[in-house]
Structure 1
Amino acid sequence: MVEWVVIAFDKADRSAYRSEHLAGIPPQVESGKLVCAGAIYNEPKAPGEPRTFAGSHLQVVADTKEEAIEIVKSDIFAKEGVWDLDNLIVYQFGCAIRQPVNKLK
C-alpha cells in the first residue's frame, strides 16, 4: 500500500452536501483508506473578512494512483460536482511525521 496526497479544488458550493460529506469520513478512516483530510482555504479578500473554501486535502492509502482517485470519487463532493475532478493533484506521499489531531465536527 502507498499513501497518496490529493488536492481537490472546489468548483461549486459545498454547503448542501457538507453533512453527508462529514458522515462519509469515519468509515474511510476505519477502513484504513483515509489517514488525513481537511479543507483548504482561500486567503480572505480583505483583513477581517471570512475565509472561503478552496477545496480539500486528503491523504489516501491505496495500491495505485487510480485506486486513490476512485476513493476520492466515492465522496459526495465528487459525486455532486463540488470537487473539480478534472484537475485533481495526486502524488505519492512519504510521511515523515504525523501528530494526531481530531477536529471532525
Structure 2
Amino acid sequence: MYATRQTCRAAAKALVLGAFTVALTAVPAVATTAGTAQAARAGVFSCREVSAQLPDVFARSCDTTHWGPVSDFVIRDSNSGVSYFCRSGWAEGALWINGQNCRQLPA
C-alpha cells in the first residue's frame, strides 16, 4: 500500500511539473507574436505637437491609445498638416510617440 501512494505522488508531481514546463514555454511565444502583430498595424497618428530632427520625430498629444512598439507608421502634425513616415518607434498612448528612421512625406 505504501508503494502505491508513493507511486501516485511521484506521478502527480511529474504531471504538475510537465504542465508547468509547457506553460512556461508557450506563454512567451504567444506574447511575442501578439507584440509583433500590433507593431505592424500602427497606421497614422495625428498629433498636436511634432518636433522633427530627421531621421527622428517626437510627437505629443496624439490621437491613439496604442502602447508599445510601432513600425511602418505615419506621424501627422495636426496644426501644419506635415506628415512623416517612420520605420520604427515607440508609442505611449496619447502622451507621446517617438519615431526613428523617419522621412518627411511630400505634401
> Which TM-score bucket, shorter chain as reference?
under 0.3
The structure, 1 or 2, with the larger RCO (C-alpha pairs under 8 Å, 6+ apart) is 1
TM-score (norm 2): 0.26
Q: Larger % of strand: which?
A: 2
Structure with greater helix share of residues: 2
Which of structures 1 and 2 has the bigger CA Rg? Answer: 2
